[in-house]
Every structure is written in structure tokens, then in C-alpha cells.
Structure 1
Amino acid sequence: MRHAIALTLLSLCAFSSRSFAEDAPAAVAASASGDSFTAGLGLAYVPEYAGSDKSRVLPLPVLERTFSNGVFLSTQGGIGYQTKLGDFSLSAALGYDGGRKDHKENYFSGSDALKGMGDIDGSAQAVLSAGYQLGKVGLSVSTKQNLGHREYGSTYTLGVTAPLYTDATDQIGVGASAVYGDNKHMQTYFGVTAAQSAASGYRAYSAKGGFENVAAGVHWNHVLDSNWSVRSAVGLTRLIGDAADSPLTKRKTTPMLMTALIYRF
């Protein structure tokens, strides 16, 4: 979870960039073979955990290798396979969630606001996604299923992106998403058991399955030349339902920003 927040914005940037490809000559030339390697480094301003009232700036590495047969390796999407059938796209991947620490290990990890809540261990995840291109609008649905810790539950995400402005060097668009968490997921990240209440001081709280958050953002891809580009995004995430009412939630609406310098080989 601690890395997933930052990668949400990066994924929106990447998804929007792909959806603009038909209008951007440089992108068409780079992706014509279906085989590419992208590397980059960026910064992301994100909350310490979902619901935290404190944020920090984290380094954001970007690595993505795609093959013409549909196989991909990516810091944002894991290791998997993707295919396109007309206006439909499908993908399946093995990803990883970094979990959550109940104390501040260092500047990059954990939060002292969670003392006594116990750690949420990192876990391998199956990530399944489907998309549909409706004219200029990209629609998507995806799910993350925990494999290493089934007790952590699963999430389901609905997303939409649309272009605002596109030319040979700049692609600007908007994106929005809504995340649904099942009972196990919501209790893991937003619930407080009796034992956790005694250890942390937070009141006991049972979080039921439902929509966890909605998010919206603006993303901008600026092409510097045939190899270099800059991806940036700014957005807001709003916790809703039982996630918003959790005693762990100190701020319901959180701003997020990211920017990354990208090189395409």
C-alpha cells in the first residue's frame, strides 16, 4: 500500500500516454514494433498511508520492458501479459504490494500514527485488467487479488481517462477512478480490532466492504525529443464510506503530485 499510492498517479500517466498514441507522431514511431524499453526516475508527493494527515516526497523509479508478443515487465504493472482485441485490451500480471509499517522506520517507510496497529506484510498479488477504447475515452476495470496473504482481501478499480489537448510534443488529459475493497481488505487497512485498540489507543472499529476512495487528476506528457519525455500528474484522492469513517483516517481528501523524466530506448 505504501508504494501503491505513488504508483496510482504514475499508472494514470502511463495509461493516458498510451491512449494518446494515435494522435502523437513520436509515440507512434516508438511503439510501432510493439517492443520497447523505458527507464526513468521521478518524485512523488504522497501521504504516509491512506488517511494520513502527513505526506512525504518519495523517489519514483520507472522501468518498463514490453515485447511484441505481449509480455511486459514493469515497476508499475508487475510481470505479465497484455493483448489487444480491436478496441478491447486485456492483461494479467504478477505484482507486489509493499504493505504497511506501524512505526516510522525511516523517512521513506512507516508512520508513527499507526503505533500499536501492527505491520501489514508485503504480499504478491495477481493483477487482472480489462480496458475499452470508446472513441477518445479510455475505460478500464481491474482487480488486485492477494496471493501471499489471502486474509488481506482484494480490491476492484474502475477507471476512465480522456484527452484534453494533444499535439506532437504535449499530451494533456484527465483521469478518474473509484476503488472498491472487500470486507477483508477494508478491515485490514481501516479496521481496528479489540487487541489493536488496546495497543494503539484507537477505538475499536469494524470496516465493511464497499467503495474505499475516488480519485481524479490531470496528467501531462511532454516529449522532449525522440527518446526523452517528462510525465507529470496532479490529483486528489477522497476516502469515502467506512474508510472515511475509520479512526485511522485523519484526512479524507489528499493531494498527490508526481513528475518523472523518462527515456525510451
Structure 2
Amino acid sequence: MRLAFTISLLSLCAFAGKSQADALDIPSSAEPRTAPAAGDSLMLGAGLAYLPEYAGADKSRVIALPFLERTFDNGAFLSTLRGAGYQTTLGGINLSAALSYGGGRKDHRSTFSGSDALRGMGDVDGGVQAVLGLSYKLGSLGLSFSTTQSIGHRANGATYTLGASLPLYTSAIDQIGLGASAVYGDDKHAQTYFGVTAAQSLGSGYRPFSAKAGFESAGITVNWNHVLNKNWTLRSAIGVTRLMNDAADSPLTQRKTTPMLMTGFVYRF
């Protein structure tokens, strides 16, 4: 299941500062973390998320969110969520590039992905992805753009995400922020995740459907970051995503508007 909001919620677990001030610098769903880390760091985290079984699913599930990330002074990072990559800042613009693995979807409910509503559709194989991102601060408003390009399975296509974030409340130990994002998928991505071929129609019973490139979804998220002490941080988020255009019209889509909830703890050494 390759959903922008899934990635967004997972990223909330990823970053806890070495001090209270650092920990309050929390990325929202619309502002991916692209700024260099403040020196070498090692972070561990775990949490739970309540998410749809796939984009457009009627049913949701609770999944575990384990997390491990190592960052280095030179901007390199290794992460179970972000993959292996590099981040830097040029002229006030934060840039990042990484290789990760993802994009898979089962045609039946399994431990970590899939749904029985997709039986007969066949599995979508995961593969290596290139993830590129940039973000910029305009006063208190954060603006961002990121793209995920499938390398291992080119049929999975590419997505492009526009985002914005705004802090709502900040104190010594708490920060509440608002994030909004919109996701555009190319022809390959749209057909793979929302289209139904003639062969898939025979196997699944869904009517044939050709999905074209376009904006697939828009979402809004409220994030809460609570500093417990110099090492421990609690990250939580609640939001909603709305499918649009061919993604909303797909016969696979049983629910156009879906809620999401995540909470987790992060420990920074």
C-alpha cells in the first residue's frame, strides 16, 4: 500500500530532538524532514497507526510502527522509514535524496498489508524507489515538494506531493501543527493502484476501469509533539484524506474519505 498519508504519519515518529527545542521542530505531513540533523544521532521509536487497508478501502487496520534511524554529521542518513540517503541545505532550501523500498500491495489481507476486497486483482510488487524532496520556510509557513519514483518496478509509476504546514501552538514541551498536502500520480501509478484491466476484472468481479494521471488525493493532518524529557518524545497525529478524480471514481474505491490516527514514542541517544 503506497499512500502518501501513510508515509506522512510514519515520518512523525522519525524525529526527536536532543533537547526540548530540537524536539519541538516536528515535521508535518506537508513538510518532510530535509534539513541536516544536528550532528550524529541515533533514534529508536515504536508506535501504532490506524489506517485504511489500501487507498479507497472501506476497512481500516491497526499496524505497528517500529523505527530506527542513524544520522551523520555529513548529512547522510540510514532509516527504516526514509531509507538510505543524504540531506543538506542550500540557500535556505532544504534538500534530500534517498533510496527506499516500498510500493507493494497484496490482493488479500496479510499481516502488514493488503485486503480481501482486492482478491483477484493480483499483488502489486514492491521495489526500490528514489525519493527526492525539498522544503522552504516562508515566515512560519512551511512549503514542500517531494516525489517518489519507482525504480525496481517501473509499472508502479511516480507520485508528486505538494505540501504546506503551519504551527498552531508552541510551548516549552508541546507543539501543535497543521499540515495539508495534495498528491499527483502519473499514468502508471494511477493504473496500477486504481485501474482494473480486463484480466483483473474477470478475476475480481470489478468492472474494467482505465485510470489516468491526475491529482489522486488531498489530506489535512493535525500533529501533536510532546516532550517527556531530554530523550523521550511522544508524537501523535490525526487527519483525514480525500480521494479525487479517477482515484475516487475507481471501482476499487469503497470509501473516498478516510480517517487516520497515529501515536508513538521516540528515544534519542
Q: Unaligned regions of 5+ residues in structure 1, if any?
A: none
2:49/2:64 contact within 8 Å kept? yes
Q: Distance in 2 between matches of 1:4 and 1:63?
A: 20
Partner of 2:262: 258
Give the CA deviation at 1:76: 2.4
3-state secondary structure, aligned to 1:242: helix
1:120 to 124, 137, 143: 124
Aligned positions, number = 259
1:73 corresponds to 2:47: no
Quick one: distance in 1 between partners of 2:9 and 2:66? 13
Aligned with 2:247 (options 243, 256, 263): 243
| Cα offsets for 1:106-159 (capped at 9, x unmatched) | 4x3321100110100011100011111111111110110000111211000011
Change in CA separation of 1:101 and 1:5 when aligned onto 2, cut-off 3 Å: farther
Paired residues of 2:37 and 2:73 also in contact (CA < 8 A):
no
Contact kept? 1:44, 1:259, Cα under 8 Å: yes
| Contact kept in structure 2, 1:2 and 1:48, CA below 8 Å | no
RMSD: 2.3
Structure 2 residues without counterparts, runs of 5 or longer: 25-35
| TM-score computed with the length of structure 2 as normaliser | 0.90
Q: 2:213 aligns with which of 187, 209, 214?
A: 209
Query: Which of 152, 163, 170 matches 1:148?
Result: 152
In the TM superposition, structure 1's runs of 4+ consecutive aligned residues that sit over 6 Å from their partners are: none
Q: Which residue of 1 aligns with 2:33?
A: none
Cα distance in 2 between the residues matched to 1:116 and 1:73? 36
Tell me which moved more, 154-163 or 70-79: 70-79
- Aligned match for 2:40, one of 35, 38, 55: 35
Question: What is the alpha-carbon distance in structure 2 between the residues aligned to residue 224 and residue 86 of structure 1?
Answer: 34
Q: How does 1:89-100 map to 2 (within 5 A)?
A: 89-100=94-105
SS at match of 1:129: strand
- Measured in 2, the distance between the counterparts of 1:63 and 1:79 equals 12
Letter in 1 for 2:53: E
SS at 1:11's partner residue?
helix
In structure 2, distance between residues paired with 1:205 and 1:109: 23
What is the Cα deviation at residue 13 of structure 1?
6.4
1:45 to 33, 42, 50: 50
Cα deviation 1:205-252 (Å, max 9, x = unaligned): 000000010010100110000000100000001000100000000000
Q: Secondary structure at 2:175's aligned position in 1?
A: strand
Q: Which residue of 2 aligns with 1:7?
A: 7
Q: TM-score, normalised by structure 1?
A: 0.91
Aligned-partner SS, 1:186: helix
Check the 8 A contact 1:26/1:226 in 2, yes or no.
no
How far apart, CA to CA, are the structure 2 residues paired with 1:192 and 1:72? 38
Report the 3-state secondary structure (helix = DSSP H, G, I; strand = E; otherwise coil) of the residue aligned with 1:120: coil
- Structure showing the higher helix proportion among its residues: 1
